[in-house]
Chains A and B, each alone.
Chain A
């Protein structure tokens, strides 16, 4: 059995950058492409950053494409660190990867239809607002059949949100898209803030990235230093999360995680828009299509991320067959 192809849909973003680099250093993942969407940063910066990160990894065989520049329905919001804009040349070096001209939504539709035709399935790793995915799902019923699983970072259930008291950023930035995805019934593995904040990277980890991770490791160390995510008041100890990288870790080794089945929905209007809710008891009409991850083995996860980043330093970047 060949591993299903993976598309990373992303709005880089510092933790997106780590997720992309770890995926590119993981031969278990057959990465079909990196799709950019407006989110943490405007689309222009997101596509430049995605291309910069892929170029930095040396995997210029992986195409990068631009998708939606604005959310489905709500007014546009950017991330707390939107001031990052495009990663500078001092961090990612000179741009060597040019985006593929195909629209990312078109690419997703095309890949999903092909997968549905062949009876296969596509995995979408959704680490930004889900606008591109929602736009693809509207176009043909078979798109949904071709997407076997979405592994997403988003939502906050038993912990407060980080963008508003109720909402995590990806769901807040396009609540309609997230709700449309959950309503579709596509199996989703969801990494909410509840779990992403259980694993904190400290200055020691950042030093390790710089020491062992080659140029990509140094870039991540620079970004994490410049945009410090530690928050002792919130986490009760030093260090900061790298939310999005958990989706890639789950794809490679789900045994680090545990979770439970739930029906998930997202509020789309009013003061609490972007708030996610989970039904574990089957009280509503919606099927429990989501595996809501609630625990991570922190030590194994941190080791995994550092270990994968170290492949850039030791020249052990084993590419997937055919790459």
Chain B
């Protein structure tokens, strides 16, 4: 089967880094480009981290395009669990690889415009605040026809928020962008906290990932060990939720996930509930469902899938 063309929009970020590393060794996915944006870290750092992760994974061939440096309207906020450099202090060399000249927004507009024309539509893997996608859609609404679907990490539907009482980080960081994307008519699969809190990466699993992952082992263990929230009361065990890698897992093995369709609204006015994703589970709004919300996960299956993928770095000849 022909590989699925994807663009990874991200803000690395530790869990973004793990997601990228899993995608790099998945021949089912043809990564057309990586578009880091302001999010977990300021733009300079998410770009640098994306370049570093490409080199770590031996995929310097994938172009990286610099995204928007701030959200559409709100002041930038950044993640709290990624360390000062955004990669938990993992010892990675400064990148030799350079960012492309063309901006992420231009790359999205051009690529999705071409995809709309040729019919070879592109899947957007969104692991970050949705600023790049929203700006591109506002500039050229016609590019929506070039998107096969969006598979995103974002939102908290029945689950409480993680950055505020009601809101998941990616939605809170740019709620206006999220609102633009959710109302674009593009088919969306949302892996929110309802899904990602089902997959907590435990310390003993980190050891296992380290054992199988060959030449990236040291960096991968550093990333994963830093991710441990050490908050048993909240997550039921040691470890941290594997938010962004679930997007890649969903693309590779959708049968490991269960979902329900609903119309989703994003709160953009209330300071208390800013960025809340409100799902119309029971058709109260009279609007057609626009999002496939992932509600259940085969946890063991997902961990096993990621373990098998990342073990490919153990089999590969170093690039």
A→B interface (CB under 8 Å): 67-70, 72-73, 103, 105-106, 109, 131, 134-135, 138-141, 176, 179-180, 268-270
Contact = CB atoms under 8 A, between A and B. Distances in A.
Interface string B173-206: 0001001100000000000000000000000000
Given A69-B141, A131-B138, 12 more contacts: A70-B141, A73-B72, A73-B73, A73-B268, A106-B109, A106-B139, A109-B103, A135-B138, A138-B71, A139-B103, A176-B176, A268-B73
Contact of B176 (A69, A70, A72, A109): A72
Contacts of B72: 72-73, 134, 138, 176, 180
Contacts of A69: 138, 141
Given A73-B176, A73-B268, A103-B109, A141 B69 contact: yes
B110 to A, nearest CB: 10
Interface string B158-183: 00000000000000000010011000
Interface string B67-81: 011111100000000
A138 B106 contact: no
A289 B286 CA distance: 45
Q: Which 8 A-B pairs rank lowest in CB-CB distance, beginning with the nearest?
A: A269-B269, A73-B176, A138-B68, A105-B139, A176-B73, A103-B139, A68-B138, A139-B68
B89 to A, nearest CB: 27
Nearest to A109: B103
Contacts of B73: 72-73, 176, 179-180, 268
A106 B139 CA distance: 8
B260 interface: no
16 contacts: A69-B141, A70-B141, A73-B179, A103-B139, A105-B139, A134-B72, A135-B135, A135-B138, A138-B71, A138-B131, A139-B69, A139-B105, A176-B72, A176-B73, A179-B73, A270-B269
Contacts of A67: 139
Nearest to B109: A103
A112 to B, nearest CB: 13
Q: Name A's interface SS.
A: loop
A70 B105 CA distance: 17
A154 to B, nearest CB: 17
B140 interface: yes
Given A139-B103, A176-B73, A269-B269, A103 B135 contact: no
B135 A138 contact: yes
Interface of B: 68-73, 103, 105-106, 109, 131, 135, 138-141, 176, 179-180, 268-269
A103 B140 contact: yes
A323 to B, nearest CB: 28
A105 B131 CA distance: 15
Contact of A138 (B70, B140, B180, B269): B70
Contacts of A72: 72-73, 138, 176, 180
A138 B69 contact: yes
A175 to B, nearest CB: 10
Nearest to A70: B138
A109 B180 CA distance: 21
A141 B179 CA distance: 24
Nearest to A132: B139
Contacts of A131: 138
A64 B175 CA distance: 32
Contact of A139 (B135, B140, B180): B135
B292 to A, nearest CB: 24
Contacts of A179: 73
Nearest to A176: B73
A6 to B, nearest CB: 22
A106 B106 CA distance: 8
Nearest to A113: B103
A141 B201 CA distance: 37
Nearest to A137: B70
Nearest to A71: B138
A270 B270 CA distance: 10
A194 B173 CA distance: 37
Nearest to A180: B73
Nearest to B175: A73
A67 B269 CA distance: 26
B279 to A, nearest CB: 20
Contact of A140 (B69, B140, B179): B69
Contacts of A105: 139
Nearest to A104: B139
B171 to A, nearest CB: 14
A135 B139 contact: yes
Nearest to A179: B73
Nearest to A67: B139
Contacts of B268: 73
Contacts of A140: 69, 103
Nearest to A177: B73
Nearest to B140: A103
Given A73-B72, A141-B69, A68 B139 contact: yes
A109 B70 CA distance: 15
A139 B71 CA distance: 9
A120 to B, nearest CB: 21
Contacts of B106: 106
Nearest to B131: A138
Contacts of A176: 72-73, 176
Nearest to A131: B138
A81 to B, nearest CB: 24
A256 B247 CA distance: 60
A176 B176 CA distance: 10
A312 to B, nearest CB: 34
Contacts of B68: 138-139
Contacts of B139: 67-68, 103, 105-106, 135
